Amino acid sequence: MRHTPSCRHNTFATLANLLLPVLRTHWKERLVDLFQRITIPPGKRKGTPKKNHLLYLESILESSTNTAIVATDQVLRIKYFNAEAARLLGLPKQQAIGRSLEEIHDRFASRGRELRKVIDRLRSRGRYHFEMWHMGHFLDIQISVLRDSDHSFVGLLLMGRDITSLKQAEEEKKKTLLRLQRAEKMEAIGLLAGGVAHDLNNILSGIINYPELLLARLPADSELRKPLQSILAAGRRAAAVVDDLLTMSRGVAMNKQRVSINDLVSEYLHSLERRKLSSLYPDVRLNFDPDPNLRLCRCSPIHITKVVMNLISNAVEATGTEGEVSIRTANESATGTDAASVLLEVRDTGPGISAADREKIFEPFYSTKTLGRSGSGLGLAVVWNAVHAHGGTITVQSSDQGSSFTVRLPACQEGDNTETATSTEDRISHQGNGSVLVVDDIALQREIAGEMLAYLGYGVTAVSSGEEAVEYLRHHTADVVLLDMVLGGMDGAETFREIIRMHPSQFVILVSGFSESDELDKALAEGAAGFLKKPYSMVDLSQALAQGRAEIRQAKYTREEQCT
C-alpha cells in the first residue's frame, strides 16, 4: 500500500498533538507554529517548505533522550523509530523501519499480551498503558491510536520511558520504610522489656541473695540446703531470662573484656547445656573449625556466649534427626571504611528457612518452634541485639541445603588495654575490712547489700539518693562507694562525677541491671573502678571488693613511694 505525503503529514500532525503535553514547555510554542504551518494549504502560507518543517519535527523527536517514540501506519508498519527506542528495545533503527509491529510485538508486549488484544482495546479506549521488563530496564509503555482530521485511523503511537531508577528508588524506599518500622517495633518492645526487666532484677536480688546468705551460714548437713539451692537455681534461671529481655532492649549494661571467640565456643561445646542438646539430637554432628590465629574481640563474654549458644542450638534443632552443624571462626582484614573484624559462622544442613520467615526471624517472640519445648522466641532477637550492641553485624543465607548465620564483631585494635577475661573460682573472701557506702533508691537493695557486706566483714552505710551520697561524702569518708546507676533525682552518672570532683581518688564501683551502655562506658573511662551487674551474687561482690582493696593498697603504696 502506497502512502501519500498527505497521509504522512496527517500522521506527524497527530503525533505532534499527542506529544505536546510530554515535551518540554519551551518547545510548545515553536511546535504549535510549525504544525499550523504544515496544516495550512500551500497557497495560503509563506515561509519554509513543508518538507523542511517535517525534517525539523523529526529532529526534535529524535533529540528526546528520555522517551522512546515509535509510530506506525494504518497497517501497523513502523514508520518512525527514534534513537531512544533503539537503545531501550535493543533494535537498530534500520531494522525496525518498515517492519510490521506484529513481527516484533514481543518487544512491546508485557507478560505475554497478544498485540491483537491490545489493539482491540485501543479501538474502544483509544489508549493503553502497561509496564514491562526488557533487557535490564523497567519500561513504562503507553500505546495510543493516531487519527487524522477526519478521525480516521492512521496508525499507532508507542511511547516508552525508562523508569528503572524510579522503580529502584521505590524499592529502596519500601525497604527503608520496612527497616524503620522494624526498628520502631524493636524499640517499643525493647523499652517495655527494659522497664519490666529493671524492676524484675531488683525483685530477683532478694530471691538470689537471701538463699546465698542462708547457705553460707547453714552447716553442710542441714536439710534446708537442698530447697535453698533449688530456690537459688530458679532465681538464677529467672535472672538469665531477664538478662535476655535487657539484651533485646539494648539497654543492658555490658562488662566488656578482651576475649577469644574460640574460647567462648569451646566453653559452650563442653558445657552442660550442649550435653543436654546432644541428648535430644544424638545424630546431629557438631564440627568446630577454629582459626588458630584468631584475633581477640572486645566484648561481653556473657552476651557473646549467649549468641554462640543460641546460634548453635537453633542450628541443631533446624537440622533435626540427622545431619551436621559446622562452626567456624576466622579473621577478616580491614577493607575501605570497615575495620578489621572477627567472623563467627554457624552452618547447618537443615531444610532451610522460608523467605517469609527470614523477614521475621530476628523479631522478638517470633518463633516457628513449639512453644515451651524449644524456647520463647527471644533467642534470635537476643542474638541480633547483642551483636549490634557490640557494633557488629549478622547476616543470614538459606536454601533447601541448609542455613548459615555469619556474625562479624570488631577485632581488638593495637593498644587496646581492656582487661583480658580470665577464669575465676567462685570463692568468697571473708577477710573484708574497711567501709562501704551503698547508694541505691530501693530499700530492699540497700538491705540486701548491707547484709552481704556485713557478712563479708565490711562496715556499711546506706543512703537512698545521689544527693544524700554527695552530702555524706562532704563530711565523711568511705573506702568504697557502691553506686547504683539508675537513681531518682540525681542519677548515677551525675552522682559519680560530683563524687570524683570532690574526691578525685575515690574508689567507686558502679552497679546496674539496666543502663545505657554509653553512659556506663563514659563513667568507666572517667575513672570508675569497676562494674557489678544486677542481680549480683555474693561471690561477684566479694571479688569486686577484693580487687578494689588491692588497687587501693597499690595506690597508697605508689603515693608513699613518691613522697620518699
Interatomic CA distance for residues 264 and 306, integer angstroms: 10
Q: Indicate whether 426 belongs to any domain.
A: no
pLDDT score recorded for residue 397: 92
Same domain? For 125 and 191 the reply is no
Same domain? For 155 and 62 the reply is yes
Residue 429, classed as helix, strand or coil, is coil
Same domain? For 40 and 125 the reply is yes
Q: Which of 155, 158, 137, 156 is nearest to 90 (CA)?
A: 137
What lies within 8 Å, CB to CB, of 167 at 6+ separation is 138
CB 481 within 8 A of CB 508: yes
pLDDT score recorded for residue 52: 57
Q: Is the peptide bond before 219 cis (omega within 30 degrees of 0)?
A: no
Asked which of 358, 391, 417 is the last residue of a domain, the reply is 417
CB 509 within 8 A of CB 544: yes
Which residue range(s) make up the domain with 63? 5-162
The pLDDT profile of the chain, 564 residues, written as one tens digit per residue, is 444 445 555 555 555 555 544 444 444 444 445 444 444 445 544 545 555 555 656 666 666 667 888 888 888 888 888 888 888 777 888 888 888 877 766 555 544 456 666 766 776 666 777 777 767 777 788 888 887 777 787 888 888 888 888 888 888 888 788 777 766 766 676 667 666 777 787 888 888 888 888 988 889 888 998 888 888 888 877 877 777 666 655 555 566 788 999 999 998 998 888 888 899 999 999 999 999 999 999 888 878 888 999 999 999 998 988 899 999 999 988 776 667 889 999 999 998 888 877 777 877 655 655 544 455 556 787 788 788 888 899 999 998 889 999 999 999 876 555 555 444 334 555 567 789 999 999 898 899 999 999 988 899 999 999 999 999 999 999 999 999 988 888 988 899 999 999 999 899 999 887 655 567 778 888 888 888 888 888 888 888 887 766 555 554 444 444 444
Same domain? For 138 and 17 the reply is yes
Taking the complete model, does pTM exceed 0.85, yes or no?
no
pLDDT score recorded for residue 41: 47
Residue 262, classed as helix, strand or coil, is helix
CB 521 within 8 A of CB 255: no
Chain centroid offset of residue 156 CA: 50
Phi first, then psi, for residue 161 (nearest 5°) are -120, 140
Same domain? For 124 and 193 the reply is no
Same domain? For 457 and 496 the reply is yes
CB 369 within 8 A of CB 361: no
Same domain? For 13 and 100 the reply is yes
Which domain CATH number covers 360? Answer: 3.30.565.10
Q: Which grid coordinates belong to 468?
A: 544524700
pLDDT score recorded for residue 315: 92
Instruction: Give the containing element (helix H, strand E) for 129.
Output: strand 127-134
Interatomic CA distance for residues 433 and 266, integer angstroms: 38
Same domain? For 269 and 287 the reply is yes
Which domain CATH number covers 466? Answer: 3.40.50.2300
Handedness of CA 107, 109, 113, 115 (dihedral sign): negative
Same domain? For 10 and 151 the reply is yes
Place of cell 559519680: 496
Domain count, the chain: 4
pLDDT score recorded for residue 291: 94
pLDDT score recorded for residue 556: 45
Q: Indicate whether 169 belongs to any domain.
A: no
User: DSSP for 198-250?
Assistant: HHHHHHHHHHHHHHHHHHHHS-TT-TTHHHHHHHHHHHHHHHHHHHHHHHHHT
Same domain? For 147 and 84 the reply is yes
Length of the chain: 564
Instruction: Give the containing element (helix H, strand E) for 49.
Output: none
Interatomic CA distance for residues 436 and 293, integer angstroms: 44
CB 16 within 8 A of CB 35: yes
> Cα–Cα distances in Å, from 541 out to 193, 315, 427, 530?
26, 36, 11, 11
Chain centroid offset of residue 464 CA: 39
Q: Indicate whether 359 belongs to any domain.
A: yes
Same domain? For 394 and 488 the reply is no
